[in-house]
Structure 1
Amino acid sequence: MPLLTTKIPRRPLLRLLSTASGGTTAIESRDQKLNRIADDLLALTKAEREDYSTLFRHKLGLTQWVLAFGLNAAYATGPASEEKKEEKTAFDIKLEKFEAAAKIKVIKEVRAFTDLGLKEAKELVEKTPVVIKKGVLKEEAERIVAKLKEIGAAAILE
């Protein structure tokens, strides 16, 4: 994969040294201008710096390079673009609390969907709040949470 490089033209040192006094004022004004720009950039907020960065890349025509090298698409399209959020597919079921009268029912339900023995399920339920199952599909997780709520436990999806 070729690297993106920019050649910066350099003036020979002798040419800079041999310039007349008129040439030094041009250099000084150029330095002053660059210092002013640098000061202005440093005074920007974080959001303004991100917007400026995007605009600068766009003005330089680097948007196709950003996409080609797999960098963040927000830089290529600008700050007004909406990023696509991936929807979560695997959830963890967390047992928050349960009613004391429903403890046996909760243990039985936990055993039913975790394949744990009676002792392990009892120890797991007694550690509340605890994640009781990880990496469950959304439909199955919602069904399990609904069943736990029905028997008197409070469970959430994470």
Structure 2
Amino acid sequence: MSHCAARCATRSATRLLNLTRALSTEARGQKIERIATELLDLNSFERHDFTVLWRLKMGLHRYGAPVAGMTMPSVGAAARAEAGAAAVAEKMAFDLKLEKYDAAAKIKIIKEVRSFTDLGLKEAKDLVEKVPCVLKKGLTKEEANPIMEKLKELGAAVVLE
């Protein structure tokens, strides 16, 4: 093969390689564009789910620390506040917290705490004495209301969290 023919073959191969790179770069650009469009089409709940999944996949979920810049840029403060309000409205499980009680009713309150928990006398007494404390976790409002009413009648201040 002559020097000129070899040079032309090299140029052709270089052009072909550059064309292949340009096509793969263009395909990557189209892929990125498609992903960005799909992300922008998500509603706020789906965006939240995506960011949680992204954090888990990237290993950024340690200690539940929020990572700066991980929220979608198109989600405004109003949308995040709306999503937070919806999450609060949807809360189904509450914790029953004893904040304070009348010292004269301590024994009655301990007996009442034993009636709706699986605690023994000593454990219930220790729990009541650690005021403020959570008496029971994961209650619905329907389950918690009768307990709250009974404890309030006995002279305790209780709240749902």
Query: What band does the TM-score fall into relative to the shorter chain?
Result: 0.5 to 0.7
Offset, 1:4: 2.4
Runs (5+) with no aligned partner, structure 1: 7-56
**1:71 aligned partner:** 47
- Structure 2 letter corresponding to 1:156: V
Higher percent of residues as helix:
2
2:134 match: secondary structure: strand
From 131, 139, 145, the equivalent of 2:148 is: 145
1:126 to 121, 125, 129: 129
Q: Distance in 2 between matches of 1:74 and 1:148?
A: 48
1:111 aligned partner: 114
- Number of the residue aligned with 2:92: 89
Aligned counterpart, 1:48: none
TM-score, normalised to structure 2's length?
Answer: 0.53
Per the alignment, in what secondary structure is the counterpart of residue 154 of structure 1?
strand
Q: What SS is found at the alignment partner of 1:83?
A: helix
- Superposed CA RMSD: 3.0
Size of the alignment, in residue pairs?
101
Instruction: Tell me which residue corresponds to 1:4.
Output: 32
Summarize the Cα distance change of 1:110–1:80 in structure 2 as closer, same or farther, 3 Å threshold.
closer
Tell me, in whole angstroms, the C-alpha distance in 2 between the residues paired with 1:100 and 1:137: 28
Structure 2 counterpart of 1:75, which letter? S
Q: SS in structure 1 opposite 2:82?
A: coil
Equivalent position SS for 2:107: helix
1:12 aligned residue = none
CA distance in 2, matches of 1:155, 1:119: 21
- What is the distance in 2 between the residues matched to 1:79 and 1:126? 42
SS state at 1:71 partner = helix
- Native 8 Å contact 1:90 1:135 kept in 2: yes
User: Which amino acid in structure 2 is aligned with residue 147 of structure 1?
Assistant: K
Greater mean deviation of Cα atoms: 78-87 or 102-111:
78-87
Residues 12-32 of structure 1: CA distance to partner in whole angstroms, max 9, x if unpaired? Answer: xxxxxxxxxxxxxxxxxxxxx
Q: Deviations over 1:45-68 (max 9, x none)?
A: xxxxxxxxxxxx9xxxx4x54234
How far off its partner does 1:79 sit? 6.8
* Alignment-mate amino acid for residue 150 of structure 1: E
State the Cα distance separating 1:138 from its structure 2 match. Answer: 1.4
Relative to the length of structure 1, the TM-score reads: 0.54
